[in-house]
Amino acid sequence: MIEIEMKRSQQSRSPQRILRAPARTAGTLIARNIIIRALRRNGLSHVLRGRMATVGFLYPASLSPVWLSDAAIELLPEFTTKQHTHAMFEPQKGRERKEESLANQFVESHTFFGFAADLEHFPEAFRFVADDIVRLGPIDHRAIEVAARTIMGFTLPSEILQSAIHLPCGLLSAAFKPGRTLRDVVEILGRQTSSKPNSLATTKLKDLSGFGEAAEWGHALADDLADYKTGRIQWSDVDRGALISGPSGTGKTLFVQALGASCGVPVHAHSLARWQARGHLGQVLSAMRAAFEQAAEDAPCILFLDEFDAFGSRDQFAGDNEQYCREVVNGLLECLDGIERLTGVVVLGATNLPEKIDPALLRPGRLGRHLRIGLPDAVARSGILRHHLGSQLPKIDVSLIAANLEGTSGAVIEQIVRDARRRARNACRDLTIEDLTASLPARTRLSDASYRRACVHEAGHVLAGYLLRYESGALPVHVKVSREFNETRSAGRTVFQRVPGFDRPVMAYIAEIATLMAGLAAEIVLLDEYADGGGGSEESDLHRATIVAASVIASLGLGGSLVYLASAEGEHLLALLGSNENLRRRVDALLGECFDQVQAILSEHRKPLEVLAEAISVRNEMNAEELAEFIVSVVRRGTPAD
């Protein structure tokens, strides 16, 4: 399973057998510097003085085998005048034929360097005789600085060195040429790094809106890292990991980039998908370890793992891929637990689905803090608009535009600004407020009948939620119904706040299901029938009620049976419902019972329901204080508050 590509760089009496030294490109010089530092770091300095040695080098994906080979051709004659060889090992069939050839090389060579991307690629014979197999560090500013100084005779600014770390060596080789001036190189690298997500960002957290508690944590981390750099605190005093969750488009990646800029540290961005592109399990784990090692070499820095839920949870793995997935998670846990190696590295994961992540990954000392980024409120939407507008429309109040964007993410707002600028460019004029207005998502206006139905529906949620608050442990704190709405948000919504630490026996879940069904029940009470506003999509009333009911029966042991059939996650429960007819019948029966109960409750409170629906229709929106005052008035005293 091994292919051995032999490249001999030995001195010989036959002139035709002497390999010509390769051109001194940036890639070759960077590889050379990294090899020398790896030898010194691993106690192999004697190799640099010409001692006999056989050394293996594990190289990261960022280092090209061509540059490593060229570096070996250049380096080995400097170490020793005796015979020397280097080899590039790659996976292939026909290993047996190569082992004998490899053994001959050991006999003939005074110094032997072997290079491989994975430990498994080294032949057994090489692993047996090697003095050591060491891991080459990543491309860093030190190696780039040496290459620039050697080729062009000057040192690059630190910010250019730092951003150049993330460029391919081929681009550096093209940029680093004798005769180029400092201005030439800075301009070339600036063009390449300006669009790189991993280069040091210029936007900082203070420039952004809508991140709430996550931004507060980020500012605190920036202060801690500044104190750590100056030696005022130890690394053990710094938050070393966090999970960032939120819906798509809420700016999780932007937050990480801005956090890096605020902290003054680089961001190393990776994902499981990128590692899996390398091939089989061994290569995935090797790429994973290399990413962590590269971050450790570049500390202090941020290691960002996007789509963190892709790793999954070990208690959910099944089927043919179970062992593979389990070993990937175990490998990640091993990397996260490398406390000494990870000094100075803050590990951040981003996900839309935090519930799918293995709990072990989220324990203290790993990604122990959970930062939730939600859809921006009106103030945050105004701030996001102003940020993306930059210096344009400085005197325009964008709050009215922001008010029409309820339920939209930061990414959608950014797209709106781009579309508005395109309109202005196409018309050959400056940007106007009309361009922004014309670029807003299409809105649907409800008919009078549909608007009344939406108000009745939300009034049902609010009133039932208030009446069942002691059973459910949740209280309605906000309701809003809009005559116009866009595709990102339904016409009406009611927000509940759960009491922390509330006891959750079966009646709490029954009350929760009833409250979720109360919108449809209210439509029957006041309008004689319900329409389609309770279902049709994920996170709809029916979707959530079905999940809660199924969890009561199949997961929580609260439905008359102690048998555990599935986790309480919606995806697993819905899959089980699709295949288990008995469970489906029981869930349907429970939903029907809850619906009948809440319909009876609302029928008993028909007058308060009518008054509340009318109030929502007039006001459009009510907060927690207004709701509490109004409901107490109509329920207890029978008259609405002024």
Residue 199 pLDDT greater than 70, yes or no: no
pLDDT of 588? 95
Question: Where on the phi/psi map is residue 450: left (φ > 0), alpha (ψ -120 to 50), or beta?
Answer: alpha
Distance of CA 376 to the CA centre of its chain: 18
Long-range Cβ contact pairs of 322-327 (< 8 A, separation 24 or more): 324/281, 327/281, 327/285
Amino acid identity of residue 275, one-letter, is: W
Eight-state DSSP code of residue 637: I
Give the largest Cα separation in the chain, rounded. 110
CATH 1.10.8.60 domain locations along the chain: 378-441
Domain with CATH 1.20.58.760 in the chain: 448-637
Residue 587 pLDDT greater than 50, yes or no? yes
Residue 574 has pLDDT above 90, yes or no: no
Token reading at 344: 């100075």
- How do residues 47-100 score in pLDDT, each as one tens digit? 887 788 889 999 887 788 888 888 888 887 776 566 778 888 876 544 554 555
- For 582, the enclosing helix (H) or strand (E) is helix 581-604
Residues with Cβ within 8 Å of 366's Cβ and at least 6 positions away in sequence, in order, are 241, 333, 336, 337, 347, 360
H/E run at residue 509: helix 506-527
Class for the domain spanning 215-372: alpha beta
pLDDT at site 525: 96
State mean pLDDT over 483-495.
77
8 pLDDT higher than 50:
no
pTM value > 0.75? no
For residue 249, is pLDDT > 90?
Answer: no
Mean pLDDT of 623-636: 84
Strands annotated E in 9-104: 53-58, 84-91
Which pLDDT does position 339 carry in this prediction?
Answer: 55
How large a percentage of the chain has pLDDT more than 90? 28
C-alpha distances (whole Å) from 287 to each of 61, 121, 256 are 7, 14, 22
pLDDT for position 104: 60
Which carries the bigger pLDDT value, residue 42 or residue 508? Answer: 508
Instruction: Encode 154-167: b = buried (16+ Cβ within 10 Å), e = exposed.
Output: eebeeebbbbbbbb
pLDDT for 251 beyond 80: yes
Min mean pLDDT across 192-206, 387-401, 568-582 is at 192-206
Give pLDDT tens digits for 376-419: 888 888 888 888 888 888 888 888 888 878 778 888 888 889 88
pLDDT in tens, 495-554: 998 888 888 899 999 999 999 999 999 999 999 999 988 888 878 999 999 999 999 999
pLDDT reading at 15 higher than 70: no
Q: Tell me the fold of 378-441.
A: Helicase, Ruva Protein; domain 3 (1.10.8)
The pLDDT of residue 98: 56
Q: Using one digit for the tens of pLDDT, what is the confidence trace for 274-325?
A: 787 656 788 888 888 888 888 888 888 999 998 898 888 887 776 667 788 8
Amino acid 605: pLDDT:
94
CA–CA distance, 591 with 553 (Å, rounded to integer):
12
Q: DSSP string of 87-112?
A: EEEEE-S-HHHHHHHHHHHHHH-SEE
Spell out the CATH class of 448-637. mainly alpha
The structure tokens listed for 224 are 């801690």
pLDDT, residue 345, reads 92
- Please name the residues in contact with 509: beta carbons below 8 A apart, sequence gap of 6 or more: 548, 549, 551, 552, 556, 558
Residues of CATH 3.40.50.300 domain(s) within the chain?
215-372
Sign of CA dihedral 466, 472, 477, 482: negative
Give the other-Cβ count within 10 Å of 475's Cβ: 18
Predicted confidence (pLDDT) per residue in 85-101, tens digit: 888 887 654 455 455 56
* pLDDT, mean of residues 614-638: 85
In sequence order, the 6+-apart residues with CB closer than 8 A to the CB of 595 are 514, 517, 520, 521
Apex 280 CA angle, 276 and 282, nearest 5:
100
CA distances 348 to 233, 376, 377, Å, are 21, 21, 25
Whether the predicted pLDDT of 163 surpasses 80: no
Measured in Å, how far apart are the chain's first and last C-alpha atoms? Answer: 82
DSSP 208-240: --S-HHHHHHHHHHHHHHHHHHTTSS-GGGS--
The C-alpha atoms of residue 199 and residue 192 are separated, in whole angstroms, by: 10
CA distance 340 to 344: 9
> What is the structure's pLDDT at 444?
80
Residue 376 has a pLDDT of: 86
Q: At what angle do helices 581-604 and 541-554 cross, to 10 degrees?
A: 120
Mean pLDDT over all residues of the chain?
82
Q: What percent of the chain has pLDDT over 70?
A: 85
Average pLDDT value for residue range 154-171: 70
DSSP H or E stretch at residue 350: strand 345-351
Please identify which residue in the block is written with the tokens 């966090």: 242
CA-CA distance, 299 to 443, in Å (whole number)? Answer: 48
pLDDT at 193: 46
Asked if pLDDT for residue 373 goes beyond 50, the answer is: yes
- Give the pLDDT confidence score for residue 613 in this predicted structure: 94
pLDDT of residue 139: 83
